[in-house]
Amino acid sequence: MLWSIKTLLPVSLQGILKQGDIVIAAGGGGIPVIMKEDGDLEGVDVVVDKDLASSVLARDIKADCLMMITGVEYVFLNFKQPNERALKALTVKEAERYLKEGHFPPGSMGPKIQAAINFLNWGGEVAIIAAIDKVKEALEGITGTKITKD
Amino acid sequence: MKKRSVVVIALGGNALIMEGQRGTIAEQFENTRKSLDGIVYCLKQGYGVVITHGNGPQVGNLLLMVEASRNQVPELSLGVCVADTEGAIGYMIQQSLTNRLRKEGLDRCVVTVLTQVIVDKHDTAFSNPTKPIGPFFTREDAERFRKEKGWHIVEDSHRGYRRVVASPDPLKVVEDRAVRGLLEAGDIVIAVGGGGIPVIMKEDGDLEGVDVVVDKDLASSVLARDIKAG
């Protein structure tokens, strides 16, 4: 797995956020670059996961909440199995355990859970995973999966 | 604190793909790096800098790709093509300038703002499209696109048939406040690439993309006015 180490523009983003603008950033995970020995940036033919990139950006602009919008209303254990169970709240420890147990497939829920864990370990307050049409309800705590430090 | 003077620097689309070049990404990066001296000079003089740029050759190539893949992937509207090239060219300038600034000992961020530019839907240019864009078509394809898409297509001096679009005057840059905010924070801003993404304002105030192109120098002048450059 490739990790985004840092985003390049956190200060700029904080500035325009402060004046009330809404910012679109890290699209598609951001444009991946490496830093060469001499400090120059250079593009590389890889892709960065957008949820992991979002967690790095959220850390660097000191966001309070990382919200990941997706096609399902909750994070599930045993997803699409007869014993499927929706998770309404998760701690970092639980999330790490379930991730290790293989509940969250790579390329879909896996990176979202990892992004939430990273963000909270870096000092973020709360991460929320929710459905596209339930954002309001998720922020009100009615639906969605809320992940916190403990 | 005294307000810093701001310079808007417009790079021609041909500054990034030179006469006779194929326009590979390596060539475009190389040309971008060569175009930075003036910008660095302005920064060292203490000016705030906004960079605008053309996208003629780049959007031309993108439209060729759209045409070549017509039956494989959904078509991109002209506005989306402009947005794509604003992003791609913005990236090349961002990275090249970031690298250069580090060597010059200037600790500044370079940010691209995707910019929409409002045009007047009653602009007389709409009834007289003159700006050729994209690939040459055969007579049969030209007929078909006229019928199916309502495109204006003209015969281009024996080289084939080509789509023409209107080039109305820019009235306002939608994201000018973000540009101003970034400048005030000391960032270098890249904006209105390719003249900006043309939009009209509908009766209800909503913005909507239109298949026209805006001249980048005219768009730059509108942006310069609205961020009070100079």
The secondary structure of B83-115 as a DSSP string is HHHHHHHHHHHHHHHHHHHHHTT----EEE---
Supply the mean pLDDT for chain B.
Answer: 93
pLDDT score of A13: 78
Task: Categorize the per-residue pLDDT at B12 as very low, low, confident or very high, splitting at 50, 70 and 90.
Answer: confident
Residue of B nearest to A33 (CA): B95
Could you give the CA distance from residue A128 to residue B181 in angstroms, rounded to a whole number?
30
CB contact under 8 A, A40 and B185: no
pLDDT score of B168: 97
Task: Categorize the per-residue pLDDT at B50 as very low, low, confident or very high, splitting at 50, 70 and 90.
Answer: very high
**Which of A21, A33, A41 is opposite residue B181, by nearest beta carbon?**
A21
**Distance from A40 to chain B by nearest Cα, in Å?**
5
C-beta separation of B46 from B40 below 8 A: no
What region, left, alpha or beta, does residue B13 occupy, with left being phi > 0 and alpha being psi -120 to 50 degrees? alpha
pLDDT score of B157: 76
Testing the interface with B: which of A6, A9, A36 to mutate, by most B Cβ within 10 A? A9
**pLDDT (tens digit, 9 = 90+) per residue, B204-224?**
999 999 999 999 999 999 999
pLDDT at B3 over 80: no
pTM of the model: 0.90
Q: Which residues of A touch B187 (CB under 8 A)?
A: 11-12, 15
Q: Mean pLDDT, to the nearest integer, of B66-92? A: 95
Task: Categorize the per-residue pLDDT at A2 as very low, low, confident or very high, splitting at 50, 70 and 90.
Answer: very low
Q: Which residues of B touch A19 (CB under 8 A)?
A: 177, 181
CB contact under 8 A, A11 and B98: no
What ipTM, to 2 d.p.? 0.86
CB contact under 8 A, A40 and B182: no
Q: Mean pLDDT, to the nearest integer, of A141-148? A: 96
**Distance from B229 to chain A by nearest Cα, in Å?**
19
pLDDT at B37 over 70: yes
C-beta separation of A103 from A77 below 8 A: yes
pLDDT score of A126: 96
What's the maximum distance between 2 C-alpha atoms anywhere in chain A? 55
pLDDT at A67 over 90: yes
Find the helix or strand (DSSP H, E) in which B146 lies: helix B139-149
Q: Tell me the three-class secondary structure of A22-82, residue by residue.
A: CCCCCHHHCCCEEECCCCCEEECCCCCCHHHHHHHHHHHCCCCEEEEEECCCCEEECCCCC
Q: How many CB atoms lie within 10 A of CB A94?
A: 13
Estimate the crossing angle of helix A109-121 against helix A92-100, to 10 degrees.
150
CB contact under 8 A, B177 and A19: yes
Could you give the CA distance from residue B34 to residue B164 in angstroms, rounded to a whole number?
32
Q: In what order do the strands lie in the sheet with B48-53?
A: B6-11, B48-53, B188-190, B110-112
Helix (H, G, I), strand (E, B) or coil at B16: helix
CB contact under 8 A, A21 and B98: no
pLDDT score of A14: 77
Testing the interface with A: which of B94, B100, B114, B174 to mutate, by most A Cβ within 10 A? B94
Task: Categorize the per-residue pLDDT at A15 as very low, low, confident or very high, splitting at 50, 70 and 90.
Answer: confident
Q: Which residues of B touch A12 (CB under 8 A)?
A: 109, 111, 182, 185, 187
Q: Percent of chain B beyond pLDDT 70?
A: 98
Nearest 5°: phi and psi at B173? -95, 125
pLDDT at A5 over 60: no
Residue of B nearest to A42 (CA): B95
**Which of A9, A39, A42 is opposite residue B102, by nearest beta carbon?**
A39
pLDDT score of A124: 96
Q: Which residues of B touch A16 (CB under 8 A)?
A: 178, 181-182, 185
C-beta separation of B190 from B111 below 8 A: yes
Q: Which residues of A touch B181 (CB under 8 A)?
A: 15-16, 19, 21
Written as one letter, the residue type at A12 is: S
Task: Categorize the per-residue pLDDT at A17 as very low, low, confident or very high, splitting at 50, 70 and 90.
Answer: confident
**Distance from A45 to chain B by nearest Cα, in Å?**
13
CB contact under 8 A, A40 and B102: yes
Q: Return the CA Rg of chain B.
A: 19
Q: Which residues of A touch B197 (CB under 8 A)?
A: none
* Cβ within 8 Å of residue A42, ≥6 positions away: A33, A34, A36, B95
Could you give the CA distance from residue B95 to residue B181 in angstroms, rounded to a whole number?
21
Q: Mean pLDDT, to the nearest integer, of B38-54? A: 95
Which structure tokens are listed for A83? Answer: 């014993």
pLDDT score of B2: 53
pLDDT score of B69: 95
Q: Mean pLDDT, to the nearest integer, of A86-109? A: 93
